[in-house]
Amino acid sequence: MTVTRARKVVTARNMVIFLAVNNGVSKRSELAQMFNVSLARVSRGYHDVLENEPCPR
């Protein structure tokens, strides 16, 4: 994966998480259930959005 594509993937992931949080998802486990993925896959993006980026670009 190229650097540009990796950045786009991270931006897209953060946007999806940001929108889910704005629509009432308050726990990582809820987000994992919503997308049918393991909790470990949700952890990194969830913390990036909530703690480091108030609004994705």
Instruction: Give the CA count within 13 Å in the CB-facing half-sphere of 11.
Output: 7
Predicted structure pTM score: 0.56
For residues 42-57, give the mean pLDDT: 56
Pairwise CA distance, residues 41 & 15, whole Å: 15
Cβ atoms of residues 47 and 28 within 8 Å: no
Phi, psi of 7 (to 5 degrees): -65, -40
Is the pLDDT higher at 29 or at 44? Answer: 29
Token pair recorded at residue 10: 């991270």
User: Worst-scoring range by mean pLDDT, 27-31, 41-45, 53-57?
Assistant: 53-57
